[in-house]
Each structure stands twice: as C-alpha cells, then as structure tokens.
Structure 1
Amino acid sequence: MQMRPWFGDEEKKAISEYMDEDGFITEFKRTEKFEQMIAEYTGAKHCIVVNNGTVSLTLATMAAGISAGDEVIVPNFTMIATPNSVKMYGAEPIFVDVERETLCLDIDKVRAAITPKTKAIMLVTANGRYPKSGVEAFIALAKEHNLKLIEDSAQSLGSFYPDGRHIGTVGDVGSFSFSAPKIISTGQGGCIVTNDDAIAARVRRLKDFGRSGGGNDIHSEIGFNFKFTELQACIGIEQMKKLAWRVERKKEILKRYQSNLKDVTAVRFFEQDLDSTTPWFIDVMVDRREELQDSLKAKGIGTRVMYPPINKQEAYQLPGEHEVSNLVGEEGLWLPSAGQLTDKEIDRICRAIIEFYDE
C-alpha cells in the first residue's frame, strides 16, 4: 500500500453515536474537543480547524497580515497547495530551492530572495523534517527583515524540533493538514495553530464570514465560510487517540526500509532525525526511477513520483533553475508508506528493489 487513510470501528461508532443525538452536524462541541486535543498535543495556545489544509495556510497568512501584491517566499519543492494558498488572494509566491539533505528551504537562498516586497517566509517542514540550519536561524532572519514566519507543517503532525517544541508552533503561525494520506485524517480538513491571540481571533473571524462573534450577523470584515463539521470532528477525535502509536509505527517502518536497503547504493534516503521527527512518506532518491517503478508495478507494488519543481509546472511556468528541486523531479520516489504495512510486506518490497538493482 503506497498510502491510504486508516479508519476503524472506533470512528464508525463515534459517528453513529453522534447521529443518534440529532445534532446539527455543523461545528460545535466535538469540534472544540478536537481543537483542544491538537492544541494539547502540540503545545499551541490556539488551534482552529477548517475545511482543508490549503485553506488553513491561506487563513494563516491572511491573519498574519499578508495582502494581495505581497511576496511570500516558498520552497520550489513542495505540494502545489503551498504557493496556491497565497496565490488565492493575490499574494505572490517566490520560489526558492531547498536543502539536498532535508528538502527544507535553503536559508542562504531565502536570504538572497528577500526584496522590499517580501512579507513572509513559508517554511515547509518536508516529511516532518526540519532544516539543517535550524528553525532559530529562520526566526532570526525573519526578525531581521520584519517578516512573518509561517510554518507549513502539513506533513509534520507528530514531529518536534530538537528542543522539544512541536513543529508548527514556533513561527508566527502554523498549519496542519488532515487530508486522506496524512498520519491522522478526517477525509479533508486542516488547522491553524498559533500562540498569538490576535492572529487566532482573526482566523476565527475569517473562517466564519468575518462575524464579530458567534451567532450574530454583524460582520467586522470580509470573511468566508471555511468551517468544519461535527462528523469530521468525531473522526478526528478517534484518530488523535491513535496518533502516539502511529508515530512510533511510522518510525519503525522507515528504520526497516533503511536497514533492508542499506547496501543498495542506487537508493538514497534523506536525513531524518527519528528521535524528534516522524516520517509521513518513505521518500528516496533512486537511479533508473521509471524502470524501477515498472518493475515494482509488475509485482503489485505501487510507488509515486515525488513533487516536480513547481516553477516548471504548467500552472506557473516561471524561469529559473533550482538544482535540488530539479534533481528530485528526476530521481525522487515515494515507496509504499501506509501505516498498515506489515514488516513482512516491507521486506517483500525491499527484496523486489534489491532484485531489480542486482539484475
């Protein structure tokens, strides 16, 4: 299984019990409980859930004061939702290359990309990893240039910086995703975490039509409808109960892949601090990628090509050569990564990879 959501009888029972209560389904007490569970797990003062992880990034940046025409530095290697989230309201994503070892933003290249129009840095912690330069270097750079630091932590629930702070809680505002393949899922969904009272209050207004308060029709600013549902929250609550075990299992899966493939020079893993961080996908760089994919597919093993460089996507078509992003576009591969994988299945996948390169 390359990746799939993991729901069980607990989620089914929680939804059934809620439906027996004749609730309104729109967000209410269970949503509040889900938000509280995330806040407590991450150590954030505020957590606000919304309908998806792209919207959570959009609201995070808007609430932090980013406006149409402002520039936001984003990695050229990321899911396209990252730049799209600011493009949605007219801000301009500025693409910067990433570190070879972690696929997080290269701070030297970020520094070189700052202009008078730059208002924020969007630090994507790729696959739960943090940059080699450390988050404090990004905090200092942002402070030096009076920029907001936005943490796109869509892939990082269950990952911490070495000092024990949860990824996503260190910048001005952070964002998580609960889409189908994430470590916990509500089908679609996302959340914003922050320790800033003003940012949190503005996110809550923006997601609810700009209302000045709940249950009224007085609007203090232009807002939207990005609310959650109680059904999603029922699922999310049960998923959060399983998170600690999933974190450990994800680490075990990566360790088994690394051990099995340690002598295969054609397969190269990225740096992953397994004491602090949790891998989402099993991501590698490989030789003869398309041939390997075809060989594995013939044996019933699915893989997926990693994100291509965004500036070369048809949707953007921007000039520039970003060495690491380009290389990932040529050699990057996600191996089967589902939390449901057994050790026996991982061993079979690894044997198939070894056999391919031994031919």
Structure 2
Amino acid sequence: MSDTDFIPQMRPLFGADERAELLSYLDEDGFFTEFKRTEAFEAEIARYTGARHCVVVNNGTVSLTLAAVALGIGPGDEVICPDYTMIATPNSVQMLGARPVFVDVEPDTLVMDVALAERAITPRTKAIMLVSANGRAPRAGIAAFEALSQRTGIPLIEDAAQSLGSWYDDGRTERRHVGRAGRIGSFSFSAPKIISTGQGGALITDDDALAARLRKLKDFGRSGGGNDVHDSIGWNFKFTELQACVGLAQMRQLPDRVVRKKAIWRRYAEGLAGVSGYRLFDHDLSLCTPWFIDGVAERRDELAAHLKARGIGTRTMYPPIHRQKAYDLPGDHPVAERIGRDGLWLPSMIQLTDAQIDRICGEIAAFYAA
C-alpha cells in the first residue's frame, strides 16, 4: 500500500511468517482440531503475560461468558459493566440470563469509575467486569478495584480484549500484565487486535481450579481429553490448530508490534499538537500499548466525512450501551454519552507509515483551519 492509497481505519497484518507456520502444519497431516499447536500458543500467551494458566477459545465474547460461568454467575445475577465498551462485554453475561448493570467511565481513561461501581453494588451483584479501554488502567489504579473486590467478596473479571502488551504499575517489584489483577482475565484475537487469529479469545488465571474448570467448560464438560464421559455441563468452544499456527507467528511479532504501536501514537501526538478541534486520549507509553488511536472531535461527523472524501478511513467510537436499542435502559452516564457523540478512532493499523500519519494529521489540521 503506497502512502497515497486509501488508508483504512484498521486492517490485520498476515504475511510470510503465518504462511510458513500454516504450510508446516499442513505437511503434518493433522486433524486441525486443537492439539499441540494450541498448547504452544497458550504457553506463549501465559509466558508473555506472566500468568500461570492460559485457556484459548473460539472468540473473545465466549471467553467472557466462560469466565462468568466458571465463577458461578447465572440467571438473575447482576454483573457491573462500563457503559462505554464494545457490546460483547454485557452481551457475554446477558447470554447466561444474568443482568448487566451499567456505570459510567472516567473521562480521561474511559475505564470504569470505581466509585460509581461501588455505588451500583446490590445483593445480586456477582461480579465486576472491568474493561481496560485501549490498554489504559483506571486513574485510581488497579489496586482500588482489587480492594473493592476483596472488601465485598465480589470477583473481578478483566475484559482485557484491547490490552495485550499493556501493564499495570501498582508498586510491586515486578509489573503485572493487564488481565492479571482479576480472578480471570480475557483477551480477544479478532481482526483489529494487536495480534489476530481471525477470531479467538484467551483466558488467563493463576488459579489452578479455575483453569481446570475453564478447560472442561470449553470441551463439553468432559472428564478427560478424547473421552465421552462428562461430569459437568459444558459446550464446544474449542480453538483450531490453524488458528494456533497463525497465533504463534503473530506472538513472535508482538514485541515489535508493541514498539510500532507506541511510535504511531507518538507521531499522531506530534502531528496533532496545536490542532484545537481533535484531542487524543493520553497514554503512559511506558505501560500502555494503544490498540486504536482514540480521541474526541469537534463536528465529528463532518470531520469523518472530510477525511473519507480524501481517502482516509475513520470509525466512530462505541455509543453508550444503555441507549442502544439492544438494551434501551434509563440512566445518566455523561462520559459514555459524550464519547458516543464525539469519539472518533483514526487509522490505527500496524502497517501505517509515518508519511501516512503525517497526511492524516495534515488533513485534520486543514479541516479545523477552514
């Protein structure tokens, strides 16, 4: 793609490494269903995040659902969720007959406000589902959510779908990867993520019993691999070896992708300095790896149309979930509502060149100067 071609907001990057992994596996005449390559992929994610266990599944919504099931959440229970998130977060528990309870997010991080989460707790609350928006940690620190969980006995599930490559700085001797503060952390490998297997999700935990339960839940509740003896209810949410081949190749590229994602954000920050109409959300790049380039725009829809006419793709950020027809609930969540009005993702793919970023920033500056 040349610097003058249409610039999409996002596209995955697959190439020679993925092809080599796939062809190598095809030469083995395998069954395609998850086996040794999947185990290797899980081991790589566990190693990278520092988790004791990793369990991969077919997508990142199912991973959240299985996390909830493993923690005993079911019909009639309540799960506190941020009003600003991808709709998979609440849908994952709605599928179980549980009820998502929405709270607003912090204006500078777009992560759930811990004080509002505490106010939303009722006797029916069975989990808090914390979303690390674009890899960011809560302003109050993850320790505030851990303390709330410990004080109330309500488990914390981390929806870290956007956060592979991001870390918590919580005063410990060693940093913890985002997703490791909760009882279970969940990641997504859908097409726009920093690494992708097309679709896919992963669960990490340091709890041996939870890991064993998750493995049973994703494999029909089997008592052991390859048999038809079932000592619990379960479903078929397994991975495939083909996805694992792609994932292994992508994991080898992850350190370089983290470096490039941070460089992309820096280039945007430099290029948009002094442009009053578009404000990037900040990142501590020593800890956070931006998944998308996110910000709020004056006259957002006009800006998006201007950029599209000049060969630049954008994407509006998530609207507040409580106002979407799928939920249509009362509530006042001003931060989420503002993002629904003004939030705009700029091109964020790993393939972006510096020249393309400069072109994008130039067009944004020209729009607001007109």
Question: TM-score if structure 2 supplies the norm length?
Answer: 0.96
1:162 corresponds to:
169
Q: What are the ranges of 5 or more consecutive residues in structure 1 without an aligned counterpart? A: none
Find the aligned partners of 1:201 and 1:118 in 2 and give their Cα distance. 25
The answer to whether structure 1 residue 318 and structure 2 residue 318 are counterparts is no
Rounded Cα–Cα distance in structure 2 between residues aligned with 1:107 and 1:21: 50
Residue 183 of structure 2 corresponds to 172
Q: How many residues align?
A: 359
Give the drift of 1:271: 2.6
* Structure 2 residue 134 is matched with structure 1 residue 127: yes
Q: Distance in 1 between matches of 2:73 and 2:286?
A: 35
- Structure 1 equivalent of residue 282 of structure 2: 271
Deviations 1:324-346 (A, max 9, x none): 00000000000010110000000
Aligned to 2:176, the other structure's residue is in SS state coil
Cα distance in 2 for partners of 1:209, 1:262 equals: 53
Partner Cα separation in structure 2 for residue 310 and residue 318 of structure 1: 9
Superposition CA RMSD, Å: 0.7
Which one of the candidate residues 202, 208, 232 is aligned to 1:197? 208
Once the two structures are superposed, residues 265-309 of structure 1 have per-residue CA deviations (whole angstroms, 9 ceiling, x without a partner) of: 211122311100100000000100011011111100000000000
Query: How many Å separate the matches in 2 of 1:342 and 1:29?
Result: 36
> Are 1:169 and 1:194, in contact at CA under 8 Å, matched by a contact in 2?
yes
Bigger Cα displacement from structure 2, 70-79 vs 265-274: 265-274
Q: Distance in 2 between matches of 1:248 and 1:306?
A: 24
Q: Distance in 2 between matches of 1:224 and 1:210?
A: 7
Note the alpha carbon deviations across 1:73-94, whole angstroms, 9 max, x for none: 0000000000000111111100
* 1:144 aligns with one of 148, 151, 154: 151
Q: 1:112-158 deviations in whole A, cap 9, x for unaligned?
A: 10000001100000000000011110011011111010000000000
Q: Which moved more, 1:261-270 or 1:165-174?
A: 261-270
Deviations 1:35-76 (A, max 9, x none): 000000000000000000000011111112222211000000
> Is the counterpart of residue 183 in structure 1 residue 191 in structure 2?
no
Q: Residue 209 of structure 1: which of 193, 216, 220 is its match?
A: 220
- Within 1, Cα distance between the matches of 2:128 and 2:337? 21
Q: 2:112 aligns with which of 90, 98, 105?
A: 105
- Whole-angstrom distance in 2 between the partners of 1:315 and 1:198: 35
- Percent identity over the alignment is 63
Shifted more, 61-70 versus 22-31: the winner is 61-70
Counterpart amino acid of residue 156 in structure 1:
S
Q: CA deviation at 1:220?
A: 1.1
- Provide the TM-score with structure 1 as the length reference: 0.99
1:240-276 Cα offsets, whole Å, 9 max, x none, are 0000000010000001101111101211122311100
CA distance in structure 2 between the partners assigned to 1:348 and 1:177 by the alignment: 30
**Whole-Å Cα distance in 1 between the matches of residues 282 and 108 of structure 2?**
6
1:296 is aligned to 2:301? no
Q: 2:320 aligns with which of 285, 300, 309?
A: 309
> Contact conserved, 1:123 with 1:150, CA < 8 A, in 2?
yes
